[in-house]
Amino acid sequence: MKKIVIYPGTFDPITFGHLDVIQRASELFDVVIVSVLENTAKRPLFTKDERVEMIKESIKGMNNVEVDVFDGLLVDYAKRKNAIAIIRGLRAVSDFEYEFQMALMNRKISNGITTVFLMPHEKYTYLNSTIVRELARLKSNVMDFVPTFVAEKLREKFS
């Protein structure tokens, strides 16, 4: 049986921090499904299709990584996908409280699904999509934080 894992998120947009986590997960599991939450109260800058396209471009060459879209409860989706675990990135203590609550709640409302936390390289500790969007909006260079085509998409959005 293949060990399938879900890596859920908004990915608005995908960053080098996300990609670092995906790479690590792909070395631990047989299949990694990067799962884009379609409807979120966060009102994303990019549409679902744009976010999926940027992820697809970013994971080219990672043979056991797929992209998918989901809506509704994450644990129901994970069950439908036969996933054995959920991956979340943990950058700093500030992430911990929210992630801890979500992991325990997901475990409680499912048949005990495990959340596996992976720490991206420490050079990405300060990196998140919100900051990248803000930098791009203010016309700062984001090439150190996202792949080239994502930087280009950000430039188009704010031009």
Which residues lie near ligand PNS (CB under 6 A)? 8-10, 37, 73-74, 102, 105-106
Cα–Cα dist 122/57, whole Å = 24
**Closest separation in Å from C-beta 134 to ligand PNS:** 16
Check 42, 80, 108, 139 and give the catalytic one. Answer: 42
Q: What is the DSSP letter of 32?
A: E
Nearer to ligand PNS, 62 or 102 (CB): 102
**Closest separation in Å from C-beta 38 to ligand PNS:** 10
Nearer to ligand PNS, 15 or 26 (CB): 15
Tokens read off for 112: 């005990």
> Is there a catalytic annotation at residue 18?
yes
Q: Using CB atoms within 10 A of its CB, is residue 146 exposed (0-12), middle (13-18) or buried (19+)?
A: buried
**Closest separation in Å from C-beta 93 to ligand PNS:** 16
Helix (H) / strand (E) containing 31: strand 31-37
Q: Which residue is nearest to ligand PNS (CB)?
A: 9
> Is there a catalytic annotation at residue 121?
no
Nearer to ligand PNS, 104 or 139 (CB): 104
The DSSP secondary structure of 94-150, one letter per residue, reads HHHHHHHHHHHHHHHHTT--EEEEEPPPGGGTT--HHHHHHHHHTT---TTTS-HHH
Known catalytic residues? Answer: 18, 42, 91, 129
